[in-house]
A and B are shown apart, each in its own frame.
Chain A
Amino acid sequence: MNQTDKSNQPDKRRSPKLGDKNDLRIKAIENGTVIDHITPGQALNVLHILSLGEDFTNTVSVVMNAGGSRGDKDVVKIEGRELTEKEVDAISLLSPKATVNIIRNFEVIQKRQIKTPEYIFGIVKCVNPNCITNSSEPIEAKFAVTANEKVKSLILRCVFCESVMTEDLIQYIE
């Protein structure tokens, strides 16, 4: 099912975020992924999760604090790269309202809202240095994910040692 999507189109609306001349800041990608509606300020952390370092030579576009119909957001567009489920799960910890759009031949062929899973496997490193998952044992870290209603963030509880992590989750993402 082909569909058009605003996340892969140049935004021509006049907005203080676009500058005076409404010039095109990011061009549409041909094949790859657009991660849209990222929580403002989290785009660089998304790049960190995707390990897009100097050996990645395709075009990567990053927009931070872009004005949108739902308020500010960050957007990341990556040419020639699709995400694994683990990467999507990791992004969901930082930006639970993001959407992932797969682009083929300039068309959005799949658009999905990220869903925070109940359990996270092998993405996050336990905060407790004495946890069995931080040893040389052949074991994948596993965390139960719940919402912290008080501070509107997520709580990760290590299934093995019960340590709890709730702030600055990016520092624990491997």
Chain B
Amino acid sequence: MRSMHHIISTREYTTEMFDDILELAEKLEPVAKGEVKSEIMDGKVLALLFFEPSTRTRMSFEAAMLRLGGQVLNMGSIEASSIAKGESLADTIRVTSQYADAVVLRHPREGAALMASECSSSPIINGGDGAGHHPTQTLLDLYTIKRESKLENLNIALAGDLKYGRTIHSLCYALSRYHARINLVSPPELRLPDRIVDDLLKRNIDVNITDNMEDVIEDIDVLYMTRIQKERFPDPAEFNRISNSMRITKELIHSAKPEMKIMHPLPRVNEISFEVDNTPHAAYFKQAFYGIPVRMAILCKVLGVEDKIKEEGM
């Protein structure tokens, strides 16, 4: 029997493991766009267990499964499930993992996906566990960089809330596999935790820390912006000052390279001005689309149907 292939974290992924999924995603892009019909997931069922709100992750998993000819089971709201009666996550996983071939789990507590993998009879895909990991976001971020810019010799700026953003933390480790130059642009209060900076330096990554976007805007290939959350600041005036200082405007990107791309995990609030949307720099909506081929590739890996992709001539 094949051992189960859970996707919990990309922390220990090698470049080969990343490349394998990114190449598979590229093959599946025509299916994701609806240009090519596929039935490789015919008869397969994916369960979605979301204990926290989600639009992009949940819907792109649904879209990925449906485009590949599979079916989706959605737990729905917590209020309408046994969770409301006090059922543990462990029991919920033991039960629902028997109803499906794989389970996507989003949960507010760190480590929930790993615990779920220990009591599940189907593969678990981590759709975000608190402030912990969100591996499918990391993979789609890498894929976006690959498709819209380049992964080799990349000069990237990670900006906004670098302290609390799990997306940023996982992306740092992934980018270190590709030896990117990483510029960390944030107010001092929201700097990347020292332990991650230390890990990057140990991996011989060129790290530049600044609080001024203008220091880096001319040289970078990609600007990865994240949302600064109001609740991190007790003083609203301080929040306004900081969020305005980090705002991406048309004026700011005027001095950027023409091929520089702006990414954002979304949802955005006001950290990227709407006027930037219509410039060739904006890649964040394409990034949201790339979630589909990447999650298709992940599903194919987890459910062991890669061979069928070749059979379908993709």
Q: Which residues of A contact B (CB under 8 A)?
A: 128, 130-133, 135-139, 158-164
Contacts and interface: CB of A to CB of B under 8 A. Distances in A.
A135 B109 contact: yes
A137 to B, nearest CB: 5
B131 interface: yes
Contact of B115 (A128, A137, A162): A137
Contacts of B108: 130
A159 B9 CA distance: 12
B132 A162 contact: yes
Nearest to B89: A137
Nearest to B108: A130
B111 A136 contact: no
Which of B107, B109, B111, B114 neighbours the largest number of chain A CB atoms within 10 Å of its CB? B111
B88 A130 contact: no
Interface string B197-214: 000000000000000000
Interface string B118-133: 0000000000011110
Nearest to B131: A130
Nearest to A128: B110
B110 A137 contact: no
B72 to A, nearest CB: 25
Nearest to A139: B115
A158 B115 CA distance: 12
B2 interface: no
A43 to B, nearest CB: 33
Given A128-B110, A161-B111, A137 B90 contact: yes
Interface in B59-107: 88-90, 107
A132 B112 contact: yes
B247 to A, nearest CB: 30
Given A130-B130, A161-B132, A164-B195, A138 B88 contact: yes
A54 B131 CA distance: 42
B115 A130 contact: no
B110 A132 contact: yes
A124 to B, nearest CB: 14
Nearest to B107: A132
Which of A130, A133, A138, A159 neighbours the largest number of chain B CB atoms within 10 Å of its CB? A130
B88 A136 contact: yes
B88 A132 contact: no
B97 to A, nearest CB: 15
A130 B110 CA distance: 6
Which of A158, A160, A163 neighbours the largest number of chain B CB atoms within 10 Å of its CB? A160
A131 B132 CA distance: 9
Nearest to B9: A162
Nearest to A161: B110
Contacts of B115: 132, 137, 139, 160
A167 to B, nearest CB: 14
Contacts of A139: 90, 115
Given A130-B130, A136-B88, A160 B195 contact: no
Contacts of B90: 137-139
Which of B107, B109, B114, B132 neighbours the largest number of chain A CB atoms within 10 Å of its CB? B109
Contact of B110 (A136, A138, A160, A164): A160
Interface string B179-199: 000000000000000010000
Contacts of B109: 130-132, 135
28 contacts: A130-B108, A130-B109, A130-B110, A130-B130, A131-B109, A131-B111, A132-B109, A132-B110, A132-B111, A132-B112, A132-B115, A132-B129, A133-B111, A135-B89, A137-B88, A137-B90, A137-B115, A138-B88, A138-B90, A139-B90, A159-B111, A159-B114, A160-B110, A161-B110, A161-B132, A162-B110, A163-B110, A164-B195
Interface in B285-309: none
Nearest to B86: A136
Interface in B39-67: none
Contacts of B131: 130
A144 to B, nearest CB: 13
Contacts of A138: 88, 90
A107 B34 CA distance: 80
A118 to B, nearest CB: 17
